[in-house]
Amino acid sequence: MANKLLSISRRTRSTVYTDRVESTNIKAYTVYNHMLLPTEFESLEADYWHLCEHVQVWDVSVERQVQITGPDSNRLVQLMTPRDISKAVVGQGLYAPLCDVDGGIINDPIAIKHSDNCWWLSIADSDVKLWAKGLATGFGLDVKVTEPDVSPLAVQGPKAEALVARVFGESVRDIRFFHGKMLDFQGTEMYVARSGWSKQGGFEIYLNNPDLAHALWDELFEKGHDLQVRAGCPNAVERLESGLLSYGNDIDDSNNPFECGLDQYIKLDANIDSLSLPALRALAGKQSQQLVGLIFDQTMDFKNKKVSYNDQIVGEVTSNIWSPRFKKHLAFAMMQSEYLSNQSAIEINGIIGIITDLPFSQKVLQP
Ligand code: THG
């Protein structure tokens, strides 16, 4: 389907930053967690180069926080994810797939520990609040599940640390990857973490006071003028080069973590009570398909996303984009394991592509 205009109503929620985003050269939005997410400013390619060279401010309010508080909050979060959360320290974020009883992926949030009685699940695009409430009811847990008015603003790119230090102070430089701390902005303490949906480095500021949204946005732009700050968004080129998965595009609840290369975030032998662990233990090593990378030497037009071989469908392209840096067309594809065990290449419309592991290694990307 070609791009069309989107009708905006209260169901397509705007964000606390939308006024500011609308005052830029924004070209397109998508809808994520029933809310607007910018996808393109100048152009995908221009946005990409700017992100890799300077610093961008991203309205990622769509990364909603599902807050779980109460005496059973650890228990509920552990039920939801097969990742062992018991060693997490306060202020730490864990990339933690959430899985159902069959091992299907419900979401792939960052689980942030604020205290033993308070977790935030910083979610991708699916209705985790409803899932969490259902589990809490079914298991009779003493928790409260809410979506607080928290609107993450990501600051990404090689100059992000310099900019965030100007606004929140030099102590941000000590924050380690996937850790964060509470820092003051105009009298309000908010969680600031070293994270973000790019591999260019940066921070995410979890604004918890909507009245400060414009002030925060404006200060980042005023103080970042000489760093060439501009508005941006998760960039399709950068995230494919970096191998970052997009829930709803590359994975959904019909996939298990093994197929998606998320094995490293699961502790099969952990002594934890997690809903999906019995199913995942049974599934380990038996997946019939695998998410892999495809690389082509020329631009591709994937009108038909199915991949076939000898008139049999052997896989499906889930995301793809032209990389202007490597001058290659990159794709993620869910491919049948049987095909992968016999072949290291595919042919689409007469063009040969090589199959490779994700994330792409620098070696396979270089010409
Ligand atoms: N930041 C915040 N919330 C989010 C995202 C984010 N919610 C939606 C979505 N992104 C969740 N999915 C991801 C996927 C990948 C990563 C983060 C969130 C990520 N992964 C690193 C990697 O794959 O190399 C590191 C993971 C790790 O080692 O723990 O960054 O971006 N707030």
Judge contact between 256 and 288, C-beta under 8 A: no
Cβ count near 33 (within 10 Å)? 19
For the segment 192-215, what is each residue's pLDDT rounded down to a tens digit?
999 999 999 999 999 999 999 999
Q: How far is the CA of 311 from the centre of ligand 1 (A)?
A: 37
Distant-in-sequence, close-in-space partners of 207: CB < 8 Å, separation ≥ 6: 16, 150, 151, 152, 153, 185, 190, 213, 216
Q: Which residue, by CA, sits nearest to atom 22 of ligand 1?
A: 244
Residue 114 parent element (H or E): strand 110-115
Asked, for residue 23, whether it belongs to a domain, the answer is yes
Residue 81, domain CATH: 3.30.70.1400
Please tell me whether residues 212 and 236 are part of one structural domain.
yes
Compute, in angstroms, the gap from residue 166 CA to the centroid of ligand 1.
25
Give the model's pLDDT for residue 222.
98
Q: How far is ligand 1, taken at its centre, from the CA of residue 312, in Å?
A: 35
CA gyration radius, the chain = 21
One domain, residues 156 and 219: yes
Give the CA count within 13 Å in the CB-facing half-sphere of 225.
4
Q: Are residues 22 and 169 in the same domain?
A: yes
DSSP conformation letters of 343-363: -SEEEETTEEEEEE-SSPPHH
pLDDT tens column, 127-156: 999 999 999 999 999 999 999 999 999 999
pTM given for the model? 0.97
Instruction: For residues 93 and 218, state if they share a domain.
Output: no
Q: Which two tokens stand for residue 327?
A: 């001058």
Q: Is the CB of 233 under 6 A from ligand 1?
A: no
- CATH number of the structural domain spanning residue 197: 3.30.1360.120
pLDDT at residue 168 greater than cutoff 80 = yes
At 1, the pLDDT band (50, 70, 90 cuts) reads low
**Residue 261: CB atoms within 10 Å:** 17
* Angle 359-154-193 from CA coordinates, rounded to 5°: 85
**311-365 pLDDT, tens per residue?**
999 999 999 999 999 999 999 999 999 999 999 999 998 899 999 999 999 999 9
Domain that holds residue 123: 69-132
Confidence tier at 98 by pLDDT (50, 70, 90) = very high
Q: Is 123's C-beta closer than 6 angstroms to any atom of ligand 1?
A: yes
Residue that finishes a domain, picked among 132, 161, 186: 132
Mean pLDDT, the chain, rounded, equals 96
**In sequence order, which residues have a C-beta less than 8 Å from that of residue 334 and are 6 or more positions away?**
250, 255, 259, 289, 290, 291, 315, 316, 318
Distance, in Å, from the CA atom of 349 to the CA atom of 275, rounded to the nearest integer, reads: 43
Helix (H, G, I), strand (E, B) or coil at 136: helix
Residues 124 and 51 both lie in one domain: no
Give the confidence band of 96 by pLDDT, cuts at 50, 70, 90. very high
- Our count of domains for the chain comes to 2
CA 90 to ligand 1 centroid distance, Å: 18
